[in-house]
Chain A
Amino acid sequence: MSSDFLPALLAATSSVDIGASGFATSIKLNFVDYSILAAYILTVMFIGFALKRYMKSSEDFFLSGRAIPGWITGLAFISANLGAQEIIGMAASGAEYGIMTAHFYWVGAIPAMVFLGVFMMPMYYGSKARSVPEYLKMRYDEKTRTFNSISFAVLTLFSSGISMHALAELLNLLLGWNYHISLLVVSVVVLAYILKGGLSSAIYNEVLQFFMILLGIAPLAWLGLEAVGGWNGLVEKISTTRPEAMHLWQDTAGIGNPLGVPWYGILFGLGFVLSFGYWCTNFAEVQRALAARSMGAARRTPLIGAVPKMMFPAVVILPGIIAYALTHMTTNSGYTIPMKDGVANYNQVLPSMIFHYFPNGMLGLALTALMASFMSGMAANVTAFNTVWTYDIYENKFPGQKTDRQLMVMGRYATIFGVVLSIGCAYFASNFKNIMSLLQMVFGFVNSPIFATFLLGMFTVRSNSRGAFWGLVAGTTSAFVFHGLSIAVGNPVGFIKGGWISPLIELPKEMSQSFYVAGVAFTVTFVTNIVLSLTQAREKTDAQLAGLVYSLTPKQVEDSGPWYSRPAVLGALIIIAVVALNFYFW
């Protein structure tokens, strides 16, 4: 559910805690660094204020009036997911698991994004649903929508809070900035620009943040490669110390690979259930596409996003792999991964490399990039929250007719209390770290049942509201039960890590445990939905389902445009590229 749930899964083994240590010298920012940071903050505020005059109706505020070009929504689509935890988590996993971390991109995200653009977007955008829960209402019923909107609203606030906590703690440890003040200042900036410019402001700023993150973090891979002796140097060093870290598939016949998951677990658990569940049904993502100005632009949104997304492992995972190589070189490289309590503290890989290699100037740029990544993740969560709150909960559940003006006012209030509640969750996270890693598991529990429900809802006419609702309930429950019955080797049995009912099922790694949980939850939802739906007569007629189910949605007439802008062509090209990457790094 959270925009940070994929890296959070990865980080689960080392927990979200970004502990101190590893920084021999304290780092001082100078006026150049500060002016870079200040220029960024001024620009995001400027964009918010410049967009204020377009905010005339609630559709403008929550859906950008469905008027944004595809390249903007496409970059915002991936930027919404580039939270600080994604950047830090992916580098951490690069160091811990090696290149297999790229499965989260090349098996996970990319195919799911293509599927969303080519097959699901005609129903999402065409149905004129204003949110993901609202689509569930159109296709099924009010219960199913309520289930989804409440679980989404709660989890999205928690994920925003967790990432706020992570950033404030990082700034505190690295720069000695006051935890409370950093939390407050960054939240106020995000709050201000969303209040002014609504979703448009979040989206336009996400594109700016995308370039900021890319151009601020990319030089790290450049300097890292210089330090390790180029790409060939890296391959040579890794192949002497840890050859399995440079292969995606070679060791996946069994569980003897860094992830501890065989190939079918990767394909089904990560590739299919977890990634499709996240990318295709998370409203913080889908909302970006709904803001696009035409059906073609909406369908191209995840496809345009997929192109840079495919390259991102070079920016975020590669520095982690380099950090591992530098730490284990026979000659002293001067850099080692920070340790905490005698074990490598992978969450510090990215920040420690930045501080090790970047002088003042570049340092300010990289810190601003981290700040930008944090803001984009937070703004995505907050704009998704205020929309779901206003359209799916307030407009529906509170008595009385609401005028458009009232919805807009409520949207602004929802933005404010969304930010305030996120700050509350951040403090909660700083006090109960174990509960946070449990919650990250929970994000996974909720996603896969929703995805099973969408799959049946969008691609079959028989699936009905009874099947959908009880399928969701059964699937989510089964996830908790499976978690209670399974434990990763070496983990303490308990409510946090699992096995609290009885540790019957032993799994090699926490990662494989989460894949199995997701797989079980998906299967139970899928089967329950089908069985319950088939035991009843059809609930809705073809006419009622027109535009909501794939077979009853008119074939998309392609936009007049060059052949390469057609979603199916673009999708096919992306799939070919991603298959090639999988073979290349076999």
Chain B
Amino acid sequence: MTFDLRLPIGILFTIYGVILTGYGLLTQGSEMYQKSLGKNVNLGWGIVLLVFGLFMLLLTRLGRKN
């Protein structure tokens, strides 16, 4: 089977990373972060998701070359 699952996973989490990071940047200092103990979790976790998504995309590319 030639279906590479890493591609849709990579795309989805890259999109999530962009959405959350962007939203986190737009809402910096917002009082909605009182809930999360003053941490801008959207920004922080958005970066984690972005890195994960891009890593999956990189693996997909490396997989294609082989």
Q: Do A and B come from one complex?
A: yes
Contact of B3 with A54 in the complex, beta carbons under 8 Å? yes
Among B5, B9, B24, B39, point to the contact of A361 (Cβ < 8 A).
B24
Q: B55 → chain A, closest Cβ, in Å?
A: 11
A442 at the interface (CB under 8 A from B): no
Q: B46 → chain A, closest Cβ, in Å?
A: 8
Q: B57 → chain A, closest Cβ, in Å?
A: 14
A47-B8, A51-B3, A208-B5 known; A359+B41 contact, CB < 8 A: yes
Contact of A36 with B3 in the complex, beta carbons under 8 Å? no
Among A65, A219, A227, point to the contact of B41 (Cβ < 8 A).
A219
A54 CA / B8 CA spacing, docked (Å): 17
A50 at the interface (CB under 8 A from B): yes
Among A67, A223, A361, point to the contact of B1 (Cβ < 8 A).
A67
Contact of B1 with A68 in the complex, beta carbons under 8 Å? yes
Q: Which residues of B sit under 8 angstroms from A359, Cβ to Cβ?
A: 32-33, 35-36, 41-42
Contact of B16 with A46 in the complex, beta carbons under 8 Å? no
Q: Which residues of A sit under 8 angstroms from B32, Cβ to Cβ?
A: 359-360
Which residues 352-406 in A have Cβ within 8 Å of B in the complex?
356-362, 365
Q: B27 → chain A, closest Cβ, in Å?
A: 8
Binary interface encoding of chain B residues 1-27 relative to chain A, with 1 for a CB under 8 A from any of its CBs, else 0 = 101010011011101100110011001
A554 CA / B14 CA spacing, docked (Å): 46
Q: A360 — nearest CB in chain B belongs to which residue?
A: B32
Q: A64 — nearest CB in chain B belongs to which residue?
A: B1
Contact of A46 with B15 in the complex, beta carbons under 8 Å? no
Q: A362 — nearest CB in chain B belongs to which residue?
A: B41
A47 CA / B39 CA spacing, docked (Å): 35
Residues of A within 8 A of B (CB-CB), count:
34
A75 CA / B25 CA spacing, docked (Å): 33
A81 at the interface (CB under 8 A from B): no
Among B3, B15, B19, B35, point to the contact of A50 (Cβ < 8 A).
B3
Among B15, B39, B41, B45, point to the contact of A39 (Cβ < 8 A).
B15
Contact of B19 with A211 in the complex, beta carbons under 8 Å? no
Chief secondary structure at chain A's binding surface: helix
Among A50, A54, A211, point to the contact of B13 (Cβ < 8 A).
A211
Q: A39 — nearest CB in chain B belongs to which residue?
A: B15
A365 CA / B20 CA spacing, docked (Å): 9
Q: A360 → chain B, closest Cβ, in Å?
A: 6
Q: A214 — nearest CB in chain B belongs to which residue?
A: B52
Among A43, A54, A204, A361, point to the contact of B12 (Cβ < 8 A).
A43
Q: A365 → chain B, closest Cβ, in Å?
A: 7
B49 at the interface (CB under 8 A from A): yes
The interface of chain B, by Cβ under 8 A from chain A, is 1, 3, 5, 8-9, 11-13, 15-16, 19-20, 23-24, 27, 32-33, 35-37, 39, 41-42, 45-46, 48-49, 52
| Pairs across A and B, CB under 8 Å, 30 listed | A36-B16, A39-B15, A39-B19, A40-B12, A43-B11, A43-B12, A46-B8, A47-B5, A50-B8, A204-B3, A207-B5, A207-B9, A208-B9, A208-B12, A215-B48, A215-B49, A215-B52, A219-B45, A223-B37, A223-B41, A226-B37, A357-B35, A357-B37, A358-B41, A359-B41, A361-B19, A361-B27, A361-B41, A361-B42, A362-B42
13 more contacts with CB within 8 A, not counting A215-B13, A360-B32, are A50-B3, A51-B3, A54-B3, A204-B3, A204-B5, A208-B8, A223-B39, A226-B37, A226-B39, A356-B35, A357-B36, A358-B41, A361-B27
The interface of chain A, by Cβ under 8 A from chain B, is 32, 35-36, 39-40, 43, 46-47, 50-51, 54, 64-65, 67-68, 72, 200, 204, 207-208, 211, 215, 219, 223, 226-227, 356-362, 365
